[in-house]
Structure 1
Amino acid sequence: MKKILVPTDFSTQAENALKVATQLARKYNSEIYLLHMLEIPLHEVDALRSYNHLPEAIYFMKLAHKKFEALKTKDYLKDLTIHETVEFQEIFKGVFHLCKKHDIDLIIMGSNGVSGLKEMLIGSNTEKVVRTSKTPVLVIKNEHTVFKVNDFVFASDFKDESKATYKKATAFANILKAKMHLLMVNTPNKFITSEKSEHRMTSFVDAFDFKNYTINIYNDINIEKGIMNFSQSINADLIGMSTHGRQGISHFFNGSISEDLVNHAKRPVITFKI
């Protein structure tokens, strides 16, 4: 985990994400890439030609850099390698571009569910970032004076298509020295017997060397409530899941379920793309 991307609008929620990023950066000797997006309603902004004709673009660019300079004076950023970028794009496009350009290992975004980076995390922007990003996305909901993950819930349907993301999740758990609590939520609409569920999960994890886990089958009225209720029952530090397109566990991030989970979960949430 050498490169961490933190999109920021300079809000308290974004700073909460940055503070987590700094803790990880110090622990793992990582560089931090700060990204601020200026979503000016223009058809196209050309860095070489258009600025001379767009005084508003110049103004907002200078304002962003001024805010970056003020931010970088904070004590918690001292002695860290910080890169700043300001781009004129939609947030999900800017994140995708920067991840590809710098080979980012982890994206950390802040949200309180109602303000701050809401526009980055809810609706089409979130779905596009999560669905298209090959980079894990960690959503931080609150300030963490000490970001420590002891118990990591990984929710999945534990089908073969999720094995690639499970491998990424176990690698992340190893980095954090966290215990994984593998979770399959059983709902009335998609009921699977406990015996079949346990057999599927056991067969799934047998293909990996990772051993620091528990297997859990939880019954609830829907998947997102099951994830949140189980996570609360064990006082989990982090919730993780895999996502892609519209298959498997990815339906967590389609429509209201994704918004409800990101908005209502009190714990950090991390996603891994299949």
Structure 2
Amino acid sequence: MKKILVPTDFSEYSEYALEVAAQMAKKHESGIVLLHMIGMSESVLANSEIAEEQEAKYYLKLAKKKLKDITKKEYLREIPVEVIIQNYKDFKEVNQVAKEQNCDLVVMGSHGTSGLSDLFVGSNTEKVIRTSEIPVLVIKHQHLDFKVNKMVFASDLENESIPAFKKASALAQLLSASIEIVYINDAGANFMGVDDVRKRVADFKRELDQSVEVHFYNYHTVEGGLFNYCLMNNVDLLVIPTHGRKGFAHFLVGSLAENVSNHAKLPVMTIKL
């Protein structure tokens, strides 16, 4: 892992993400790219050029000071940190910065407390997830000692998720973590009998051509099933494949949010299909 991109809006959740990124950077001798998007408001952009320039200079100066203070944090000592300030309005540009800087991972904070739905609908986190071509690790609370011993890859057992699993498997190896696959057999229109699920799992494992445990778990919602499975099996990181509005993420839209504190704290990583 060469570089980790951390978008920051100077919130406590952004700092949680930066602390985790710093721990990972020290362990893997990586650098950190700290990105802040000023995001000038439409009202500012509608002002005269002189007023706009003065406003932009003020926010730029303020952002530079805050970023300088952040880079002096004790937990960033001896880590190469590069600071980038942009005035992007479109969050897909986070992906562009990641590519330009050859980053391997995006780590960002989220204040979401009601499960996975808030990651995929309307939030800034969702905007990054939807467009990022590299894995995005979402941190929801402070981790003074971030360790990943066990990862779970959520799958719909379709072959298109196999490349994403292989990326997750490589990351698990890098983190010295175990990884397994789980399929949530929800109570909706897609519910299958035990024999059908077992056949689907067997077919998927054959196509995967890799030795890995594949489990299925019955629950009334996909989202609730994922969180309960992770909670019952002491999972440290949940990995979800997605490609924008399609793929696995769309199963979560509209599902019942499980407002359970332990669930909300679980780190989630998304990998684009």
Same fold (TM over 0.5): yes
1:183 is matched with 182
2:67 is matched with 68
Q: Does structure 1 residue 18 correspond to structure 2 residue 18?
A: yes
Q: How does 1:158-173 map to 2 (within 5 A)?
A: 158-173=157-172
C-alpha separation between the residues in 1 aligned to 2:120 and 2:62? 24
1:156 is matched with 155
C-alpha separation between the residues in 1 aligned to 2:41 and 2:82? 26
- TM superposition shift of 1:103: 2.2
- Closer, same or farther: CA 258–66 of 1 in aligned 2, 3 Å: farther
- TM superposition shift of 1:246: 4.1
Aligned-CA RMSD value: 2.7
Instruction: State the Cα deviation string for residues 182-201 of structure 1 (Å, max 9, x = none).
Output: 11001121111223323323
Q: Does structure 1 residue 203 correspond to structure 2 residue 199?
A: no
1:102 is matched with 101
Q: Counterpart of 1:196 in structure 2: which amino acid?
A: D
Conservation of the 8 A alpha-carbon contact between 1:252 and 1:258: no
Instruction: State the Cα deviation string for residues 10-42 of structure 1 (Å, max 9, x = none).
Output: 221111100110111111111100011111124
C-alpha separation between the residues in 2 aligned to 1:259 and 1:87? 34
Aligned residue pairs, count: 264
C-alpha separation between the residues in 2 aligned to 1:228 and 1:235? 11
- Closer, same or farther: CA 19–162 of 1 in aligned 2, 3 Å: same
Q: How does 1:29-48 map to 2 (within 5 A)?
A: 29-42=29-42
- Closer, same or farther: CA 38–120 of 1 in aligned 2, 3 Å: farther
Identity %: 41
- TM superposition shift of 1:112: 2.7
Conservation of the 8 A alpha-carbon contact between 1:220 and 1:226: yes
1:55 is matched with 54
- TM superposition shift of 1:241: 1.0
C-alpha separation between the residues in 2 aligned to 1:98 and 1:110? 18
Q: How does 1:130-141 map to 2 (within 5 A)?
A: 130-141=129-140
C-alpha separation between the residues in 2 aligned to 1:76 and 1:223? 37
Instruction: State the Cα deviation string for residues 207-243 of structure 1 (Å, max 9, x = none).
Output: 45653x4321111111000001111111210111100
Q: Counterpart of 2:227 in structure 1: which amino acid?
A: M
- TM superposition shift of 1:81: 0.4
- TM superposition shift of 1:83: 0.5
- Compare 188-197 and 166-175 and name the one that shifted more: 188-197
Conservation of the 8 A alpha-carbon contact between 1:186 and 1:223: yes
Instruction: State the Cα deviation string for residues 77-120 of structure 1 (Å, max 9, x = none).
Output: 00100011111112613312211211221000112326xxxx99
Conservation of the 8 A alpha-carbon contact between 2:130 and 2:245: no
- Closer, same or farther: CA 239–21 of 1 in aligned 2, 3 Å: same
Q: Counterpart of 2:150 in structure 1: which amino acid?
A: D
- TM superposition shift of 1:43: 9.0
C-alpha separation between the residues in 2 aligned to 1:223 and 1:17? 26
Q: Does structure 1 residue 194 correspond to structure 2 residue 194?
A: yes
